[in-house]
Structure 1
Amino acid sequence: MSALGLTAVLGGCGLTGDSGEVTLKLVAADYGDSTANSSKKYWDALVKEYESEHDGVQVDVSVYSWSDVDRKVKELVDAGKAPDLAQIGAYADYADAGRLYKADDLVSIPVQADWIHQLSDAGEVDGVQYGMPFAASTRLLFYNKTLFTEAGITPPTTWEELATDAGALKAQGVKYPYALPLGPEEAQAETMQWLLSGGGGYTDTLGTYSIDSSENTGTFTWLKNDLVAKGLTGPVAPGKLDRADAFAAFANGDVGMLNGHPSLMKMAAKKGVKFGMVPMPGKNGESKLSMGVADWMTAFKENGHAEQIGDFLDFVYSEKNVLAFSREYDLLPVTNSASAVMSAAKQDADLKPFLDELPLSETYPVGETSWAQVSAAVKKGIGQAVASGGSPATVLSRLQATAAEAQTAE
């Protein structure tokens, strides 16, 4: 699955050609939800324009669903047939194995300078950037305006207000006053949003895992006692509620509040749900940090072609192309120039609240090769922290031990 939480199920192949001196092979993920907006169409148009302006270079694109793309790239790499470029969900393992070009070796200084700095920083392993941000998203608190009006409440800015609002929604018979998806699909996202709102996070300022910090333990203790135990999170136990099911319930009008990314806007609007979006409430006021997520472009060294790869990437990251991709898929641009355009454009007004959050965002510790193992452990176990009879301190301590062991093994 994409880090952005997208689950498109398309696949296919892009352009091919047998003429020209160099053929670059690119494996890309599909962000579309139908044949009509498959990423294949985006790449086909981009490559056609690029090849018309660059004699001697062809770009062969294969597009796979998020269910398959990371596995497909791994299979190619393991078979000694690494693509020149892979647009995927993670990069740290390949960088750690010495398989990737550094961003400095490829793209021009203006392009590097245009990347949003939090995303560039998140693409680093040991202070060197290997992951080039390709698509980004942030999270906001979505609320159902109709249900809020019926309950006579306003959007919360603090945890206490969120719990009070959830109580009022429950009294009105709302099925999920606050949907808390801590199920195995994407629990690491909901967890991180709450950890940040409580002044904590997965790691400390030095990049060391701090999952069982006092701030994080306090956050999950509050969730367990003040939301879950009071029946304010709905009929499905948080540990069994997946993000996709929570989004579907919101689009059906059954959820008062939940954390969501831009794709939820279309889902809800399509079903006629009137919704609003506000920053995630914090413990004592609006959260100072939001969760930001990114997907990555990587370039493998196996076939050489650094000069051609770099030139093609400069084209990919042009303002025009970044804007086209972001607008097609309701995602946030990864460059400052495109972000400035979208922030000022009327056609992108619905994304502006998410754009405003991006400079305040913090990403997963994707530069750690241990993150995949830690993320899997969080998905599997964090729901137990808020379950009846569960202990937040015990669960977070167990996750911390897993993280520390994985980080030591790096």
Structure 2
Amino acid sequence: MQRRRFLGLAATGMAGAAGLTASACSGGTGSGDGVTLKLVAADYGDPGGDNGSQAYWDGLARSFEKQHPDIAVDVSVLSWNEVDKKVAAMVADGTPPDIAQIGSYADYAARGRLYSVGELLPIPVQADYLPSLAEAGEVNRMQYGLPFVSSTRLLFYNKALFARAGLDPEEPPGSWAELRKAARALKAADVRIPYGLPLGPEEAPAETMMWLLSGGGGYTDNGDSYVLDSPENIATFEWLRDSLVGAGLTGDAAPADTNRQDLFDAFGRGEVGMLNGHPTLMQQADRKHVEYGTAVLPGKNGPASSTMGVADWAMAFKQNGHGEAAGKFLAYAFDVDRHYDFVSRYDLLPVTTSASARMRSDGSQKKLRKFLDQLPRAEFYPVGKVSWGKVSAEIKRKIGRAVAENGEPANVLGALQQTAEAEESAGGGR
């Protein structure tokens, strides 16, 4: 099955261009004189930890205000559990923020609520974005979403638990059969969760997509049409149901009731043998002194040819008419030094060519190079589809049923396909 690939590295020759200001922005987007920008952003810190994002944004706002004394920035940082809902409520109440840094943009763009990127940023700043990530920010061929950070996924495994189970800690599984064999050995060694499968509402769309890709399927085909109930996808979930969940290799809790952060926490306690994870899991594992390894996701017959990538988005709302001021702040935030400061503190991947080049050459970021290497073949959610929000919500509600005892993947995926097609027909397409 062919699928659209959203992210690829490309050298643009624009290293450092994001340090330019937005003085070249298009007119008609609002004056910066005496403006207070309302900014709502997501918190990338660990729950209950001391590495929250508020300090970063406060520092960025204060340094920006020194250079732009006619623009104040009022920052609110919220957890991922509430930030998207909070922004949606603000929009519904008629009081949207000027800038939001959240998980999706397409619905707001389709309703005409956002400035286009061309209205906000000068061409050199736009050109520094990784080209295909910029494309993923488009609705109807116009870019509205500014990629903010990205990440890819790898298989994490606990080397100490591998050794305890008689497995070679330097040879992680490369295929589904090898993963099942390793999970069986871990279970025999009394590992509580041989493989962590978070199909609960927090992570279900991501875990689902990783497995679909590793089985030769995906959410959409090369024509960007939904193919949720494809034969490849059904076969993938039948294998998960029978070979992992049904064999008792995913722990006692049902995958439908298992969230990502719960498994990340358990991995930090040394209770999980293997799970799919993103770069920030490295920080959590390092703090807990877990000896872990990472590897390309196992595929049906060998290492997967692609992995899932995720991008979070920034956007500027039009209602308050503060486009010029918002553009200046966003250009300031994407200066290579400032952008790199943010992604490096959270073990995330940059979205600009200049910051990506810096990360690759930074010796202190060697652990992230394997994730960077995944970018050319990473595939992303179909975020440019306005329908994706509702489809994703349905996946969160239903996909766990496909791997339950007596679950029927064909029925579950067929119902999700019907939802996707209905949303597309209702005008929720790209």
Q: Deviations over 1:16-56 (max 9, x none)?
A: xxx95332222222223358433221122212222222242
Q: CA deviation at 1:104?
A: 1.4
Q: State the alpha-carbon separation in 2 of the partners of residues 242 and 75 from structure 1.
A: 25
The answer on 1:208 being equivalent to 2:222 is no
- 1 or 2 for the larger relative contact order (CA 8 Å, sep ≥6)? 2
Distance 1:162 1:110, change over 3 A: same
Q: Alignment partner for residue 28 of structure 1, among 41, 48, 51?
A: 41
TM-score of the aligned structures, taking structure 1 as reference length:
0.91
Q: Alignment partner for residue 37 of structure 1, among 51, 62, 83?
A: 51
The answer as to whether partners of 2:180 and 2:243 remain within 8 angstroms in 1 is yes
CA RMSD of aligned residues (A): 1.8
Q: Helix, strand or coil: the match of 2:415?
A: helix
TM-score of the aligned structures, taking structure 2 as reference length:
0.87
The answer on 1:88 being equivalent to 2:109 is no
Any residues of structure 2 matched to 1:3-402 within 5 Å, and which? 21-33=34-46, 36-150=50-164, 151-153=166-168, 154-402=171-419
Q: State the alpha-carbon separation in 2 of the partners of residues 335 and 138 from structure 1.
A: 15
Deviates more, 1:83-92 or 1:117-126: 117-126
The aligned amino acid for 1:243 is R
Distance 1:380 1:344, change over 3 A: same
Deviates more, 1:337-346 or 1:350-359: 350-359
Q: State the alpha-carbon separation in 1 of the partners of residues 408 and 49 from structure 2.
A: 46
Q: Helix, strand or coil: the match of 1:295?
A: strand
Distance 1:36 1:257, change over 3 A: closer
Structure 1, unpaired ranges of 5+:
1-18
Q: CA deviation at 1:100?
A: 0.5
The answer as to whether partners of 2:167 and 2:182 remain within 8 angstroms in 1 is no
The answer as to whether partners of 1:118 and 1:359 remain within 8 angstroms in 2 is no
Q: CA deviation at 1:216?
A: 0.6
The answer as to whether partners of 1:123 and 1:133 remain within 8 angstroms in 2 is yes
Distance 1:235 1:65, change over 3 A: closer
The aligned amino acid for 2:158 is N
Q: Helix, strand or coil: the match of 1:202?
A: coil
Q: CA deviation at 1:155?
A: 0.3
The answer on 1:408 being equivalent to 2:422 is no
The answer as to whether partners of 1:24 and 1:58 remain within 8 angstroms in 2 is yes
Q: Helix, strand or coil: the match of 2:210?
A: helix
The aligned amino acid for 1:152 is L
The answer as to whether partners of 1:84 and 1:301 remain within 8 angstroms in 2 is yes
Q: CA deviation at 1:318?
A: 0.7
The aligned amino acid for 2:172 is P
Deviates more, 1:30-39 or 1:108-117: 30-39
Q: Deviations over 1:291-335 (max 9, x none)?
A: 111111111111223222222221111100101111222221111
The answer as to whether partners of 2:183 and 2:195 remain within 8 angstroms in 1 is yes
Q: Helix, strand or coil: the match of 1:259?
A: strand
Q: CA deviation at 1:225?
A: 2.0
The answer as to whether partners of 2:198 and 2:260 remain within 8 angstroms in 1 is yes
Q: Helix, strand or coil: the match of 1:37?
A: coil
Q: Helix, strand or coil: the match of 1:223?
A: helix
Q: State the alpha-carbon separation in 1 of the partners of residues 71 and 199 from structure 2.
A: 46
The aligned amino acid for 1:305 is H
The aligned amino acid for 2:219 is Y
The aligned amino acid for 2:144 is Y
Q: State the alpha-carbon separation in 2 of the partners of residues 234 and 36 from structure 1.
A: 30
The aligned length equals 392
Q: Helix, strand or coil: the match of 2:80?
A: coil
Q: CA deviation at 1:90?
A: 1.3
Matched with 1:6 is none
Q: Helix, strand or coil: the match of 1:142?
A: strand
Q: CA deviation at 1:361?
A: 1.1
Q: Helix, strand or coil: the match of 1:80?
A: coil
The answer as to whether partners of 1:20 and 1:55 remain within 8 angstroms in 2 is no
Distance 1:73 1:238, change over 3 A: closer
Q: CA deviation at 1:384?
A: 1.5
Deviates more, 1:118-127 or 1:91-100: 118-127
Q: State the alpha-carbon separation in 2 of the partners of residues 232 and 89 from structure 1.
A: 32
